[in-house]
Structure 1
Amino acid sequence: MAALAQSIRRSAIGLGLFAIITGGTIALTQQLTKDRIQEQVARAEAGALYEIIPESAHDNDLLQDTVTLPPGSRLAIDGPLKGWVPRQDGKPVGLILPAVAPDGYSGDIHLLVGINLQGEVLGVRVTSHRETPGLGDRVELRKSNWVLSFEGRSLENPEPRNWEVKKNGGVFDQFTGATITPSAVVNAVQDTLVYFREHRETILTTVDADDIRTSDEPQPHREEG
């Protein structure tokens, strides 16, 4: 009986040690993987920033010139937003905002949207996603040039009801065999433009664009003489 109890005790200790070692290994692996994923996302973001606003279009350190903006629930991001500000001769020439399309076919699609200070899209890049290879992954520029179709667009071009893929009555192409993914990205880009419009005064003040804001406002009539 004593031998059986001792055997059970040894087995329990062995199982406990195995559980501790296994749990520690899993936790360490998760942490290392998490750090690696975050590093890859940061690298993808940096590359995308310079694709949206090439170095020839600004003369500041784009990675370091950032601003904090009001939360944007429509962009599916919790908390304040981090925006990147390209400048030329000290003056802002646009803003790059992060956004998330929460309704992708396989989950969240993370993207960056560049907007000039008049509210027109400078460029869009997808930085991470889990969409189907060969179908939904065509939102990546290295897989197709579809994402370039947003350049020059605004909330008036096309009009709001046409911010859809063609299958849903809009102007943007869908992919053969994949409609959900491009539709999700279209919606996210439109929501980013709406966010920009809703917070335009705050954004222009934050990026120090007073001259641009006042130039867009009606100027008082001056009498001749």
Structure 2
Amino acid sequence: MQNTMLRNGLLLGLFALICTALVAAVNLMTQQTIAEQQRLQLLKVLHQIIPDALHDNDLAQTCTLLNAPESLGTHRALPAYIAMKNGQAVAIAIEAVAPDGYNGEIQLIVGVRNDGTVLGVQTLSQQETPGLGDKIDSRKSDWLKHFVGKVFDSSNDKSWYVKKDGGDIDQFTGATITPRAYTKALRKALSYFEKNQQMIYQQPMNCEANQ
């Protein structure tokens, strides 16, 4: 009886060990696949908001981390991707968070030239109400295109508010909270870049070391 119990215990332990090894192997392969998918998605977004003709470097590799909770909407360090031409920084793609979306955080990224001209904006993640607040998703509407070509100047930023607040930005029918939060996050991120441009460009390229 005791030998049978011991044998069954060993078989059960062996089975558990094999299952654990299989799960670990699958997890490792899945992590690699997920990481590659995330890298490809990042490259797609970066190419959408900073035209290829504007730079000659690998945007994903020219990345620095910014820690500016008041300006970027989160205590997390967020990446900024620097576009360079002939060794000179010409534009940047900065990630930011709108913490006051209707259904929680909205994560976004904005591409901007050194002179404050917006090159593109994309939403990275959001949980806004389908059919209302989700117009911040470029697959659902062209609302984000309204920012392209718009120049930010913190000394005269009144136009960077939704129309309900006296600005030029269209709000959504039946949903003002989402565009208001989104536009506020853009204003704060662009203002941060305007005031700290040289400091940002002089930071080490440290995104990979902190992943």
TM over 0.5: yes
Matches within 5 A, 1:5-44: 44=41
Separation of aligned partners in 1, 2:188 and 2:181: 11
CA contact (8 A) 1:41 1:127 kept: no
Q: Does 1:102 align with 2:99?
A: yes
2:185 to 160, 184, 188: 188
Task: Output the CA distance in 2 between the equivalents of 1:170 and 1:178.
Answer: 16
Distance 1:150-1:109 versus aligned 2 partners, 3 A rule: same
Residue 135 in structure 1 maps to residue 132 in structure 2: yes
Is it true that 1:65 corresponds to 2:62 in the alignment?
A: yes
> Which residue identity is paired with 2:107?
H
Contact 1:65 1:84 in 2 (8 A): yes
Q: After superposing the two structures, state which structure 1 stretch, 72-81 or 83-92, moved more.
A: 72-81
Change (3 A) 1:128 1:85: same
- Partner Cα distance (2:140, 2:129) in 1: 12
- SS of the aligned residue for 2:61 comes to coil
How big is the alpha-carbon RMSD for the aligned residues of Structure 1 and Structure 2? 3.0
TM-score, length-normalised on structure 1?
0.68
Q: Name the stretch that deviates more: 195-204 or 121-130.
A: 195-204
| Superposition deviation, residue 38 in structure 1 | 8.1
Cα deviations by residue, 1:119-140 (Å, 9 ceiling, x for unpaired): 2222111011001111111111
Distance 1:174 1:121, change over 3 A: same
Q: Distance in 2 between matches of 1:37 and 1:182?
A: 31
Ranges in structure 2 where 5+ consecutive residues have no aligned partner:
1-26, 206-211
| Superimposed CA distance per residue, residues 82-116 of structure 1 (whole angstroms, 9 cap, x where no aligned partner) | 21012223322201111000111111000001111
1:181 counterpart SS class = helix
- Per the TM alignment, residue 44 of structure 1 is displaced from its structure 2 partner at its CA by 4.2
Which residue matches 1:76?
73
Q: Which residue of 2 aligns with 1:124?
A: 121
Asked if the contact 1:166/1:172 (under 8 Å) is kept, the reply is yes
- Partners of 1:150 and 1:51 in 2: how far apart? 14
AA partner of residue 96 (structure 1) = A
- Unaligned 5+ segments in structure 1 are 1-30, 209-225
Q: 1:174 to 1:89 in 2, by over 3 A?
A: same
Are the structure 2 counterparts of residues 174 and 38 from structure 1 closer, same or farther at C-alpha, using a change threshold of 3 Å? Answer: farther
Change (3 A) 1:207 1:87: farther
Residue 146 of structure 2 corresponds to 149
Please tell me whether the aligned partners of residues 84 and 91 of structure 2 are also in contact (alpha carbons under 8 angstroms). Answer: yes
Residue of structure 2 aligned with 1:88, choices 66, 85, 88: 85
Please list every run of at least 4 consecutive aligned residues from structure 1 whose deviation after the TM superposition is greater than 4 angstroms: 35-44
1:157 Cα shift? 8.4
1:29-85, CA deviations, whole angstroms, 9 ceiling, x for partnerless residues? Answer: xx99xx799887665433211100132332211111112344343211224442101
- 3-state SS of 2:128 partner: coil
Helix, strand or coil: the match of 1:93? strand
Asked if 2 retains the 8 angstrom alpha-carbon contact of 1:72 and 1:195, the reply is no
